[in-house]
Amino acid sequence: MFRTAVDYQMFHTAALLSLVAMHPYLSLRVLNWIRRTWIIGVVLFSGSLYLLAITQKSWLGMITPVGGISLLAGWGTLIVGSIRNFSTAD
């Protein structure tokens, strides 16, 4: 569990840092939405797994999927925003 939390936090931190390179291609509104959903997702997903691994409180496992949905929402926004941007660039 702890390793999964570390992996997801690491990958999404790298993805957050790479958003800087997307600034010329995506609107600030879309970038802010992605940033917010990823940060919330990492806090809820990884944070709940960290706490679950440390405290063994099983109810914390109910928070993890909410974080996962937030992470997926950020990726979905990135995909849709990219498709919209590149389809209008023609």
pLDDT tens column, 9-39: 999 999 999 999 988 889 899 999 999 999 9
Report d(CA 43, CA 47) in Å as an integer: 5
Distance CA 62, CA 64 (A): 6
Residue 24 lies in a domain: no
The model carries a pTM of: 0.89
> Which residues form the domain of 40?
2-19+31-83
pLDDT digits (tens, 9 = 90+) for 35-78: 999 999 999 999 999 999 999 998 888 999 999 999 999 999 99
Residue 55 located in a structural domain: yes
Is 71 inside a domain boundary? yes
Residue 37 lies in a domain: yes
pLDDT at 71: 97
Looking at the structure of the chain, the number of domains it has is: 1
Q: Is residue 89 pLDDT above 70, yes or no?
A: no
Residues 26-32: contacts with CB within 8 Å, 24+ apart? 26/78, 26/81, 26/82, 26/85, 27/81, 27/85, 30/77, 30/78, 30/81
51 within a domain of the structure (yes/no): yes
Residue 6 lies in a domain: yes
- In whole angstroms, give the CA distance from residue 46 to residue 27: 28
